Chains A and B, each alone.
Chain A
Amino acid sequence: MRIIPFIVTVVVTIGLIVTLSKPIGSIPPLGDFLSPQTGFWQNAEPVDAHPSLDLNFPQLKDKVQVYFDDRMVPHVFAQNDEDLYFVQGYLHAKFRLWQMEFQTHAAAGRLCEVLGPGPNNAYLSYDRNMRRVGMKFGAQHSLDSMEADAATKSMLDAYTLGVNAYIDQLSENELPLEYRLLNYVPEHWNNFKTALFLKYMSFSLSGAENDFELTNVRNVLSREDFETLYPAFQDSLDPVIPKGEAFAPPAVQPKMPVTTDSMYFKWNTFASIDVSPVNKPDKDNGSNNWAVSGAKTKSGRPILCNDPHLDLNLPSLWFEMQLHTPQYNVYGVSFPGAPTIVIGFNDSCSWGVTNAGRDVKDYYNIKFKDERKEQYMFNGSWVNSELHIDTFKIKGALPFYDTVAYTIFGPVQYDHSFTGNSRSTPNNSFAVKWKAHEGSNELKTFYQLNRMKNISDYHEAIKNFHCPGQNFVFADKSGDIAIWQQGEFPAKWRRQGDFVMPGVDSSYLWQGTIEQQENPHIENPARGFVSSANQTPTDSSYPYYLGCEYPIYRGIAINRYLWQLNNITIDDMKKMQTDNFNVFAETALPLLMSNVDESTLSSEEKKYLDILRGWNLRADAVEKAPAIFELWFDNLEAEVWNDDLEVASKPVLMPLEATLVHCLTLSNFKFADNIKTNQVETIQDVVTAAFKKTVPVVSMADQKANLNWGKYKDAGIRHLLRLAPMSRFHLMTGGGANTINATKQFHGPSWRMIVELTDKTEAWGIYPGGQSGNPGSRYYDNFIDKWSEGKYDKLWVMDAGEAKDKRVLFTMNFN
């Protein structure tokens, strides 16, 4: 019987070990997780130890040296392209593996595999949407295009090899923290994943149509009212290409179908749409870029500036690097997940991008024969659709299968089985036609930009860029500056694709593509600068329809400064790039002030009005006025538009801020009237009412000492999994959507860069994150405080001979 105590304790011990080896709910297996030898403790990097490493890879043709500086930026010195991209892949994986894979899972609609179905199937919905909008479909086409080009294929192969070389030697105790928390392991990288990542950028930057919203609005407005509220051009627009530039007659002349009056422009017909598009990218995914010519700078050489505005996450979207071979030398930021430098400069030129914001994604209403969706009406007969069955693996559940019909227009994104927000539309199916579905090789553009020597190389490089449309700004050491809105854009008739189009015949299809030479561009203009800030690219003399939803105020601010400034220095550019002057407030506030009826205001209301009266129109972090102004305008928008748009199906799109500002100057602005009241309200009435609604909210925030703009806005950089302890919150920042410093709560300048093209290039930059993706590293978030304060780091373009420089923390030798 003496064996019984042994058996009991052994069973208990094994039971405990087994329990600690299994995940419990969202808690990872605690045994391995807590063990200091194998668990998360291993992700706690010693803050001051930076041992050099010697690595051996038979895949390499030659030796590669990588020098890490004190900002943890790798300077890669390779002897050939294959080795260079192998090492870039290896380093991306070493610093950002989890993020690379997670973002490509998001692009491919595979989040459920690692996160489970989510609350109310939210992650499953997200995944289904990504498949249905055609992300994998488009990525496959782009991969085919990329692999058809020998240079691109060789670059992709080398990059993939490098990522996998890292994954293959990754021991369990080096596994990135997020894999441990979610209890899974990385899979191998492949070229398709790079294609998916690039497609994800297309999704973020060219996914911002408002077809359903505008269709719903159209259904309740007359043509005349619609044109007033959603004008194709804003009066105060300062376009990318200066007003008055002449354009050649169009090469393609799209013809409006004869049926538009009955089938498309169904003004005020109260037709029903009822689809809520899901997971739309942020509408402010925009950016600023500009280049000034040597005539306007102190050094006599051009300066180029760029700051792309995107969702601000940890780990950051960007990874800073220098890539050097005997043939070329480039510095800038790269996408973990893709080879090349995306925004940066080399020894002769610099380039940057902003989003063009053109509408290249349209919806068509498909008429299926029956619920099986096997056939749909096209040009008078029933045509077969292609049914794709998508499989979704789900963590902790059985797989889910989704059938998606592919038509001549594109995949059917919304139908009775997937309506966005579980609102059924039994009779409607909407196919999406999107430029990103087509194969294209954007990577080739970056490959060539990295190597360009002059403006004609730049011209050649950008031709490969089809989607998402971007404003490529350029400057070089010989003094040229240029900007080109590049992308493959459909030639549309006026208002084509603003609304959902009939999908029963070919008459509403895109009729042609605007030729690359016709895309708006300008070189070395007399005014001595080029710029873009997501505004409409041209004035109304451009011979193609451009769509109707562009922000205008940042562009006005930038151009105003650039006109005024002379003898420009890098410090001037830093000041300008982080400038908080609000042109929107400058335009709108006087109109609000002149329309508010002060005689009806209480003393408290007057107190806050006085704060606005004394405001310098700057959205600085310490000011109280920006919050009051923003709330006032938001309330005014609600006062003016809500009653009129209430009758429309949801969702709807409110007119742009600039449109309402313009409307405030109209003598008989009929939408000021609240149609739900008996009396007729005037602009004065609604402006005053909006202010009265603003004050209680403002007063409450003031009492809690939260009214200062920095506190009110409460900016932060969130971890991709939205885990608070791995995020940074409560950053005191100024700026906002309509200032050059476009820092919103969780969105804003994701990489600020200033490059002066003197003989020895001088460059400055910063992004809100850190080079390491590991929350256990001091380099995880070390740039954030400096970024919040609007400060920059000097970018060190290292020479091969500087290996002993004191800035070099450690070296990795690849043999």
Chain B
Amino acid sequence: MKFGVSILLTIIVSFAAGLYLPFWSVALVSFCVAAFIYQKPVMAWLTGFVSILIFWGLLAFWIDVQNDSILATRMASLFPLGGSAGLLILITAVVGAIIGGLAALSGSFLRKYIDSLNS
């Protein structure tokens, strides 16, 4: 339950934050969600990782479909990923996921520390 809610919340708030803030807003959001909705560190990490993986992955995929992969194919040759738009979407999603996962892990540890002070 907490897992699902956290993921949903992370995705929605990240999207909103991303309209105004640079890419690191996903870290900020993942961090805050993990700090407010406490889960064990492993689960928090997974939440952050999966949230941003889905968020960036789906968004990039959606953009790419509407674009007929014109740009992704060019960028995936420039970088070089053999011109594979799919691979570029995956890399985009995983980079975001790593940021999200680490930030959520930090949030969870912070919550754990604060809780330990109160108990």
Q: How far is the CB of B47 from chain A (nearest CB, A)?
A: 14
Q: Is A37 an interface residue (CB 8 A)?
A: yes
Q: Which of A157-195 contact B (CB under 8 A)?
A: 177, 181
Q: How far is the CB of A779 from chain B (nearest CB, A)?
A: 10
Closest residue of chain A to B57 (Cβ to Cβ) is A36
Given contacts A40-B75, A49-B66, contact A31 B18 (CB under 8 A): no
- With a CB–CB cut-off of 8 A, which chain B residues contact A42? 63
Closest residue of chain B to A12 (Cβ to Cβ) is B102
CA distance A39 to B78 in the complex (A): 15
Given contacts A16-B98, A16-B99, contact A44 B63 (CB under 8 A): yes
Q: Are A34 and B91 in contact (CB under 8 A)?
A: yes
CA distance A39 to B22 in the complex (A): 9
Q: Among A41, A43, A48, A724, point to the contact of B92 (Cβ < 8 A).
A: A41
Q: Which of A359-395 contact B (CB under 8 A)?
A: none
Q: Among B26, B27, B70, B95, point to the contact of A30 (Cβ < 8 A).
A: B95
Q: Are A32 and B23 in contact (CB under 8 A)?
A: yes
- With a CB–CB cut-off of 8 A, which chain B residues contact A294? none
Given contacts A6-B106, A9-B106, A776-B70, contact A34 B92 (CB under 8 A): yes
Q: Among A17, A775, A776, A780, point to the contact of B27 (Cβ < 8 A).
A: A17
Given contacts A2-B112, A36-B59, A37-B18, contact A20 B95 (CB under 8 A): yes
Q: What's the A-B contact tally at a CB cutoff of 8 Å?
A: 122
Q: How far is the CB of A360 from chain B (nearest CB, A)?
A: 41
Q: Which of A1-51 contact B (CB under 8 A)?
A: 2-3, 5-6, 9-10, 12-13, 16-17, 20-21, 30-32, 34-49
Q: Are B67 and A36 in contact (CB under 8 A)?
A: no
Residue among A2, A39, A44, A181 with the most chain B CB within 10 A?
A: A44
Closest residue of chain B to A47 (Cβ to Cβ) is B68
Q: Are B95 and A34 in contact (CB under 8 A)?
A: yes
Q: Are A36 and B70 in contact (CB under 8 A)?
A: no
- With a CB–CB cut-off of 8 A, which chain B residues contact A17? 24, 27, 99
Mask: chain A, 39-69; 1 = CB below 8 Å from B; 0 = not:
1111111111100000000000000000000
Q: Is A244 an interface residue (CB 8 A)?
A: no
Q: Is B86 an interface residue (CB 8 A)?
A: no
- With a CB–CB cut-off of 8 A, which chain B residues contact A5? 41, 109, 112
Q: Is A723 an interface residue (CB 8 A)?
A: yes
Q: Is A778 an interface residue (CB 8 A)?
A: yes
Residue among B19, B91, B102 with the most chain A CB within 10 A?
A: B102
Q: How far is the CB of A776 from chain B (nearest CB, A)?
A: 3
Q: Are B99 and A2 in contact (CB under 8 A)?
A: no
Q: Which of B1-59 contact A (CB under 8 A)?
A: 15, 18-19, 22-24, 26-27, 31, 41, 56, 59
Q: Which residues of A contact B (CB under 8 A)?
A: 2-3, 5-6, 9-10, 12-13, 16-17, 20-21, 30-32, 34-49, 177, 181, 723-726, 775-778, 780
Q: Which residues of B contact A (CB under 8 A)?
A: 15, 18-19, 22-24, 26-27, 31, 41, 56, 59-60, 63-64, 66-68, 70-75, 77-78, 83, 91-92, 95-96, 98-99, 102-103, 105-106, 109-110, 112-113, 116
Q: A13-B31, A36-B63, A41-B59 are in contact. List 9 more A-B contacts (CB 8 A).
A: A5-B109, A9-B102, A35-B56, A46-B67, A47-B66, A725-B77, A726-B74, A775-B71, A776-B71
Please name 11 pairs of A and B residues whose Cβ atoms are closer than 8 Å in the assembled complex, sorted by A. Answer: A6-B113, A16-B102, A20-B23, A31-B23, A31-B24, A32-B23, A35-B22, A44-B64, A44-B70, A46-B66, A778-B70
